[in-house]
Chains A and B, each alone.
Chain A
Amino acid sequence: MTLLDFARGPAMQIAIIIFVVGILWRLVGVWALRQKKDLSEARSRGAWIGGIKGLFAHGWPYKPFVSKVGTQYIVGYVIHLGLFIVLFFGTPHMLFFADIVGFTWWTLPGSVITFIAVITTAALFFALAKRLVNPVQRLISNFDDYATWFVTTLPFVTGLATNANLWPDYEFGLAIHLLSVWLLLIYFPFGKLMHSFWFVVSRYTTGSRFARRGGMA
């Protein structure tokens, strides 16, 4: 079995199992915790509408905060959108998924994907630099923050290297790239990558709690 066979076979299976089971474990672990009912008289009905609004309201900072954290949000969007576009609209990625789902879809030209991947990687390094330099972020950061950065950045770096044929052997490079993605999947349930799910739960929770009061969140 070559390294690529391993990456395409058992490594992928193990990674996906850990990814799925881990995510479910973590979500259910929190949802299973008790929560007392709020008995106060609600100011307005339809708190869930506030919850839905909350999902979108925090997608961009409120006006007084734009000058303070606007750049940080933009970097965040570049990373998230970059990741999404490269993952789903890069031709090799689409073909990989097509094998599993059985249908294909439109993709972007390779040069565009490479450009987006470079921009995203640059944004990731910018975010890391800020974490290391900014006194607030440096203080509150822990192992998870750096590990998350590492497992997110690695697939971009290995993917770009594979795309540019920088490896001594293409198949070896491809295997490394795949393994780096599996590493991301394996780490996913254990750290803050879980914010992919928590952002919905947390924003909804606060949005609905404060809509019930008529307050702002």
Chain B
Amino acid sequence: MSDTTTEMALDLEAKRLSVVDPGTRVDVQGEMGDEERVEKAMTNFAKDFGRVAATYMEACIHCGACAHACPFYEASGNPRHTPIWKIEPFKQAYKREAGPLAFFYKTFNLKKNVTLDELKEWQELLYDTCTMCGRCTLICPMSIDIATLVGMARHGMFHAGLVPHELYTVTEKAKREGSPLGATPQVFEDRIEWMGDEHEVEMHVDEDQADVLVLMSSIEIQKYPESMAATAKILNHMGKTWTFRTDGYEATNFGMLSGNTAWQKEMSMKVISAAEKIGAKLVILPECGHAYQALRWQGANMYGKPLPFKVQHISEFLSDAVDAGALKLKTVNTTVAFHDPCQVSRRGGATSAPRKVLDALGVKLIESKSGGSMNTCCGGGGGVITIHRADTLRYKVMGAKFRQLGETGAEMMVTSCSNCRQNFDDSGEKLNWDKTMNSLLELVADNLVEEAEK
């Protein structure tokens, strides 16, 4: 056992979030004895044994239906990838330590203590093969929200120092530098300036007061910087008072993905504080699925009270702008297949927003089989795309996704999640996909009717 190298060089040229030397793996963090590791996992598992989690764990009838909704099981055919099996140690700990029958289970040792070997074995199941897309909930006759349980189980894993190497590394980097991909405040500022010049768009940075605070994910800052220009262009077009803030810009929350609630809170509080400081009425989240979960649905719970501003995913913001007639758009004559980011649509409730925007653009949307809120995940979310040993299966998952999108016969592919997008770019290169995934935001920005054209 050794300490994790936190200074792991990142490969920013790669199509996906990547490290230079993926061969070196340290999937165990911190100096702890075996017993202490298990103890920490148990203590932190126990913190999540509330009524909702308990109801779900009591309700499972072991029917195995969830396997058939899981893109990872469907791609691998490996029974271990059955969603409910991924939380088996968590379930075992609940039944032995916290459930109403814990006394029986413990006294007669009917449920065994979770062992370190089991936890190590489950690292792959909890991190590499689950994006927390929640499709399994749809098929479950008991409607169990397994994705939430996986998120909870990750808390215990993090504190036991059992996070996959790359995911831990980027998380630790995010905690230390404010961004998982090296998008420090200085880098952010430089890139905003660059995009402003490149696209001749007026940028607002560190304004003292603004109605709208715009966040970016480091995937966008580093890989798709045009997103910054596109957002600025649209907000300027609408005449909004808005700003980027170098003290609160990072929308991704690797604290949440890796399982460290304290870090999750710290990361959320940065943007919440920045928004409060400038008196923002609205915080716009970028095209990032899990950022939407982190701030829109978990932000207030981290803050400890309702947020003093509204939070919207960029697709919701654009949809509202369409409704209000605030966007003048050119007509795009093409057919589109839309890939729904799970955390924004199924688990976030904003499925109709991108459709309204696409409709305003005049494109013909062709829904894929099992599309919209029942969409199949691309396999890259939840931190999976960071983990190199998950690549083979991730590509298989994406193979199915490509086939599904291909069946629509649409000319253009669009999504509103930059993490999905980098997965499409990376997998597309690997699998020789004949299409490119486009950003909804950029599509809108590219088709704005400028003042002079009106």
Taking Cβ atoms with an 8 Å cutoff, the residues of A that contact B are 25-26, 28-31, 33-36, 38-41, 43, 54, 57-58, 61-62, 64-65, 68-69, 72-73, 76, 134-145, 190, 192, 194-195, 198-199, 201-203, 205-207, 209-210, 213-217
Contacts and interface: CB of A to CB of B under 8 A. Distances in A.
B32 interface: no
Nearest to B80: A139
Interface residues of B, number: 65
A195 B62 contact: no
B59 interface: yes
A64 B85 CA distance: 22
Looking at chain A's contact residues, the main secondary structure is: helix
B111 to A, nearest CB: 9
A39 B301 contact: yes
B366 interface: no
Interface stretch (B63-71, B242-250, B271-279): B63-71
A65 B68 contact: yes
A68 B68 CA distance: 7
Contact of B142 (A29, A41, A62, A203): A203
A207 B369 contact: no
Contacts of B60: 192
B23 interface: no
B139 A65 contact: yes
Contacts of B345: 215-216
Interface of B: 49-52, 54-56, 58-65, 67-69, 73, 79-80, 82, 84-85, 88, 98-101, 104, 110, 134, 137-145, 296-301, 303-307, 310-311, 345-351, 369-370, 373-374
Given A65-B68, A198-B59, A206-B144, A40 B300 contact: yes
Contacts of B351: 215-216
B80 A26 contact: no
A140 B299 contact: no
16 contacts: A26-B101, A29-B100, A33-B51, A33-B54, A34-B51, A41-B300, A58-B141, A61-B139, A136-B82, A137-B64, A139-B80, A140-B88, A201-B59, A203-B142, A205-B143, A217-B134
B142 A58 contact: yes
Contacts of A144: 62
A39 B305 contact: yes
B414 to A, nearest CB: 20
Given A206-B145, A216-B138, 8 more contacts: A30-B51, A40-B298, A72-B63, A72-B65, A140-B85, A205-B55, A213-B348, A215-B373
